Amino acid sequence: MFLRNSLIDGVDTQLQSLAGTEAAAPLLDFSSVNGHLVVTMKESPYSVDYFVAVYDPNQGDKMLALVGGRGGPTPVVPETLSLTEAQTQSGQIRELTSADGEATFRATVSVQQYEDGGLLYPQLVASPLAGVNRTIANYLGIYSILALVILIAGAFATRLLVTLTFRSLGQVEATADLIAAGDLTQRMTDIEPKTTEVGRLKTAINAMLDRVDGAISQRDATVRQMRRFIGDASHELRTPLVTVRGYAELYRMGAVRGDEQVAQSMDRIEKEAIRMGVLVEDLLALARLDERRDVVIVPVDLRPVARDAALDVRAAAPMRPVTVLDTTLFDPEPARASETMTAPESKRRGTPPSAISRAGATLSMLRRRPKPLPATQANGSAAELPPLVPEHEPAAPADAVVPVVLGDENRIRQVVTNLLGNARRYSAEDSPIDLRVGVDGTSRMGWIEVVDHGEGVPDQIKEKIFQRFWRADTSRTRETGGSGLGLSIVASIVEALHGTVEVTDTPGGGATFRVSFPLADAREAADHASIPTQPLQRLTDAPD
């Protein structure tokens, strides 16, 4: 519609311009006879697109001639046109039609003057709209074809785009079918950029599959470990039960005679019952640790823990040298037995203190003195043991970081006790054991080390010694004793307290176990206790 109006406006402008001239001059010859206008057709008229009608005002305003056009329909024009009407309607555009009504024309009237006699006459100029209609038809045809081509091209492009898009979704569907069939190794390939929906979908599915695969791997590892755990626990419990049952049957059959044999049998039954009770307690401890029960997070000073553990070892094995070293002091060297040292109780009474009295005195000093304690050494017999508290304690540096960590004091003591039991089990009776306490300022961790000089831990089994019921002695002959749960309890406690445990070689032979816990000033105890575990962390699983 806009194009048609624009073209018609162009025709009207051209028509008004043409009406202001003698439009009939290229077609007619004008003359005047007795005041009347006479027109005749030129012998060689010009070919024009418009039509022109000439009227004579002296002959009743009748039309003298209607000429022009290049064939085709002729407009129906008025038979009469007066000068007054021509002057009044001059410049106005009217619309005419052909006799059959199919063709339309734009027309206007004007008044012209014959030059020779000054005779005025009206003229009507009409321009056909066939060209406009033809242009509109061509436009509609061309643009209809163009629109159809664009529509078809858009349809093909849309189909191609949808096909490519759904091809990626088809890959997602195919991969999902394989995963549903049990193949969890499948992953989405040809990842699109994350700016697209399909790219984000594939990335999310791959992350989900990795997590599901990790969970299933952990489940499988847990099931295998649980089966091995149940088998080992059954074997460990069956061994003392078989011994107890055997002695009971011997007694029932009368094979045990005399007080000496009965006493020997009862002694063996008691020892096996004690061993079975220890095993059951260890199993219960592991179960509680797995459930994260009974763990109370409070600030714990590692120095009294190390000192008390040394006292326990000295009471159980008086001939074994035990050294406690606090590396947070200026002088990290352990005190020597030759140095002059006195215990508070012996200084007052003037008599050599026993091991128990020295332990009590030391504990009382630890309670009264929260400052860092120096390194000490305990060895020799009970009567010759040097006390653990020197007469004058070296002062700690002003900027020293004390090894006060976040943890459960009873659990940490159990960790140190188990590590010391392991060190005693795999070293000679007179082999020294060192306990070291310190702080790692970089990681903000307080640590305690148990250093022995025994057999050491080969590299190939360092990852296995923390597994439940695992022992280097696989023959179950009990040459070194133990049920294989001590170090697994250590690992479980350290994990529950969000610490770390590592084993390295001791220079000169032996093993060094270091357990580390976050310092008390690293975070609040409540925040530390609320740290979630990682349920999808893969378990270390030994091959069957």
Find the CATH number of the domain harbouring 85.
3.30.450
- The CA distance from 262 to 144, in Å, is 116
Token pair in block for residue 341 = 């040292």
Residues 388 and 239 in one domain: no
Task: From 67, 96, 128, give the residue that closes a domain.
Answer: 128
Nearest 5°: phi and psi at 115?
-70, -40
Long-range Cβ pairs for the range 56-62 (8 Å, 24+): 56/121, 57/82, 57/83, 57/120, 57/121, 57/122, 61/122
Residues 395 and 347 in one domain: yes
Q: Under 8 Å CB-to-CB from 521, ≥6 apart: which residues?
A: 404, 444
Task: From 128, 153, 188, give the residue that closes a domain.
Answer: 128
Residues 261 and 339 in one domain: no
Q: Is residue 90 part of a domain?
A: yes
Secondary structure of 399-418 in HEC code, one letter for each residue: CCCCCEEEECHHHHHHHHHH
* pLDDT-derived band at 37, boundaries 50, 70, 90: confident
Residues 330 and 443 in one domain: yes
Nearest 5°: phi and psi at 31?
-155, 165
Residues 355 and 378 in one domain: yes
Average pLDDT of span 432-455: 91
Indicate the residue type of 12.
D
Q: Is residue 273 part of a domain?
A: yes
**In DSSP terms, which residues pair with 33 in a beta bridge?**
36
Residue 273 has a CB neighbour count (10 Å cut-off) of 14
Is residue 363 predicted with pLDDT exceeding 50?
no
For residues 454 and 33, the model is more confident at 454
Alpha-carbon distance values, 325 to 45, 299, 332, 379, 431 (Å):
131, 21, 7, 15, 17
Distance of CA 412 to the CA centre of its chain: 35
Is residue 357 predicted with pLDDT exceeding 90?
no
Q: Is residue 537 part of a domain?
A: no
* pLDDT-derived band at 402, boundaries 50, 70, 90: confident
Is residue 478 predicted with pLDDT exceeding 70?
no
Indicate the residue type of 75.
P
Residues 444 and 524 in one domain: yes
Nearest to 17 by CA among 104, 99, 127: 127
Residues 307 and 228 in one domain: no
Q: Which domain holds residue 98?
A: 2-128
Residues 325 and 235 in one domain: no
Is residue 334 predicted with pLDDT exceeding 50?
no
Q: In this predicted structure, what is the pLDDT of residue 368?
A: 32
CATH number, domain of 382, equals: 3.30.565.10
Find which of 55-69, 74-88, 213-227, 360-374 is predicted with most confidence, using mean pLDDT. 74-88
Find which of 128-137, 297-306, 453-462 is predicted with most confidence, using mean pLDDT. 297-306
Q: In this predicted structure, what is the pLDDT of residue 294?
A: 65
User: pTM to 2 decimals?
Assistant: 0.46
Q: In this predicted structure, what is the pLDDT of residue 471?
A: 63
Q: Under 8 Å CB-to-CB from 222, ≥6 apart: which residues?
A: 539
Find which of 10-19, 115-124, 273-282, 449-458 is predicted with most confidence, using mean pLDDT. 449-458
Residues 222 and 345 in one domain: no
> 271: helix, coil or strand?
helix
Average pLDDT of span 417-429: 88
Residues 284 and 430 in one domain: no
**In DSSP terms, which residues pair with 322 in a beta bridge?**
378, 433
Indicate the residue type of 439.
V
- The CA distance from 54 to 37, in Å, is 10
Q: Is residue 123 part of a domain?
A: yes
Least confident of 155-159, 302-306, 462-466: 462-466
Indicate the residue type of 345.
E
Residue 276 has a CB neighbour count (10 Å cut-off) of 19
Nearest to 497 by CA among 512, 516, 484: 516
Domain count, the chain: 3
Average pLDDT of span 84-96: 86
Q: Is residue 173 part of a domain?
A: no
- The CA distance from 514 to 417, in Å, is 13
Q: Are 426 and 480 in contact (CB under 8 A)?
A: yes
Average pLDDT of span 404-417: 90
What are the strands, taking DSSP E only, across 69-170? Answer: 94-97, 104-114, 119-128
- The CA distance from 29 to 5, in Å, is 36
Nearest 5°: phi and psi at 506?
-80, 130
- The CA distance from 323 to 434, in Å, is 5
Q: In this predicted structure, what is the pLDDT of residue 398?
A: 46
Q: Is residue 172 part of a domain?
A: no
Indicate the residue type of 264.
Q
Q: Is residue 147 part of a domain?
A: no
Q: Under 8 Å CB-to-CB from 510, ≥6 apart: which residues?
A: 427, 431, 451, 452, 453, 454, 455, 456
Find which of 82-86, 147-151, 206-210, 517-521 is predicted with most confidence, using mean pLDDT. 147-151
For residues 492 and 516, the model is more confident at 516
Q: Is residue 19 part of a domain?
A: yes
Average pLDDT of span 63-89: 85
Residues 208 and 91 in one domain: no
pLDDT tens digits, residue range 126-178? 988 888 888 888 988 998 999 999 999 999 999 988 887 777 777 788 888 88
- The CA distance from 329 to 339, in Å, is 18
Task: From 82, 112, 128, give the residue that closes a domain.
Answer: 128
Secondary structure of 216-243 in HEC code, one letter for each residue: HHHHHHHHHHHHHHHHHHHHHHHHHHHH
Secondary structure of 428-487 in HEC code, one letter for each residue: CCCCCEEEEEEEECCCCEEEEEEEECCCCCCHHHCCCCCCCCCCCCCCCCCCCCCCCCHH
Mean pLDDT over all residues of the chain? 76
CATH number, domain of 209, equals: 1.10.287.130
* pLDDT-derived band at 293, boundaries 50, 70, 90: low
Residues 311 and 271 in one domain: no
- The CA distance from 303 to 300, in Å, is 9
Is residue 533 predicted with pLDDT exceeding 70?
no
Q: In this predicted structure, what is the pLDDT of residue 280?
A: 80
- The CA distance from 305 to 292, in Å, is 22
- The CA distance from 306 to 435, in Å, is 6
- The CA distance from 15 to 126, in Å, is 7
Host H or E run for residue 518: strand 511-518
* pLDDT-derived band at 527, boundaries 50, 70, 90: low
Alpha-carbon distance values, 287 to 56, 281, 283, 366, 542 (Å):
127, 10, 6, 33, 21
Alpha-carbon distance values, 330 to 164, 341, 342, 401 (Å):
72, 19, 22, 12
Q: Are 422 and 491 in contact (CB under 8 A)?
A: no
